[in-house]
Amino acid sequence: VSPLLLATIATDFTPVPLLSNQIIKTAKASTNDNIKDLLDWYSSGSDTFTNSEVLDNSLGSMRIKNTDGSISLIIFPSPYYSPAFTKGEKVDLNTKRTKKSQHTSEGTYIHFQISGVTNTEKLPTPIELPLKVKVHGKDSPLKYWPKFDKKQLAISTLDFEIRHQLTQIHGLYRSSDKTGGYWKITMNDGSTYQSDLSKKFEYNTEKPPINIDEIKTIEAEIN
């Protein structure tokens, strides 16, 4: 066979499309990676910094002064990212820590969420939020569900607390039949907040903090 004929054969070759089972395997691998990421995020420990003062903010990190006077350095996931805060502004930070310390220490790599600054006022008595959980349509009892004494909480903080309970006690993201569902918060005035459990909470759509003593119900369904 001449080199010219070989070149022609190679040029005219038509790629074979992926078989359906190959596409399914690729989709499953992507889904599994997403579920592992969700489990890692919501089952981990977290730190909350409330009404902290921004000392300086540069690409890749931000130093804050906490209400107890301690200083924390927040390391962002991307070295090129910097949130739009300037020196002297107040922020609330909900972070995932990679080592168990009271405050995030210098050099610690963390995921983070910046929410609206909440009211520091405390409730006279801590309250247990009215969370009801169902797994595949059946009631699932709460365990180690904390009481809260802060009058206001950011929706992102509530999302983390709800999903932390769901991952630790009710098996969310820990088996193939518990990878989705929803949570829904209903307020006394009828307004609602809702999130899809198969995805991370969309922090860029953060709503204003809510008064927790005005929450009527919180329902969560795992399926």
Element (H, E) at 65: strand 61-65
- What's the DSSP call for residue 12? T
What pLDDT is stored for residue 176 in this prediction?
92
What are the residue ranges spanned by the domains of the chain?
A: 33-43+121-222, 47-118
Instruction: Give the tens place of pLDDT for each residue, 135-163.
Output: 999 999 999 898 999 898 888 889 989 99
Query: 33-43+121-222 has which CATH code?
Result: 3.10.20.120
pLDDT digits (tens, 9 = 90+) for 13-35: 444 555 555 544 444 445 576 89
Q: Which two tokens stand for residue 46?
A: 């977290």
Residue 86 has pLDDT above 80, yes or no: yes
Q: What is the mean pLDDT of residues 87-93?
A: 87
Dist. CA 140–CA 170, nearest whole Å: 7
CATH topology of domain 47-118: OB fold (Dihydrolipoamide Acetyltransferase, E2P) (2.40.50)
Which tens digit of pLDDT belongs to each residue from 150-205? 898 888 889 989 999 999 999 999 999 999 999 999 999 999 999 999 998 876 55
Give residues with Cβ within 8 angstroms of 26, minimum separation 6: 18
What is the predicted pLDDT for the residue at 164? 92
Residue 204: which H helix or E strand, with range? Answer: none
Nearest in space to 42 (alpha carbons), one of 192, 210, 162: 162
- Among 217, 130, 135, 142, residue whose Cα is nearest residue 179: 135
With CA atoms as reference, report the closest residue to 170 among 129, 137, 133, 195.
133
- Is the torsion defined by CA of 93, 94, 98, 101 positive or negative? positive
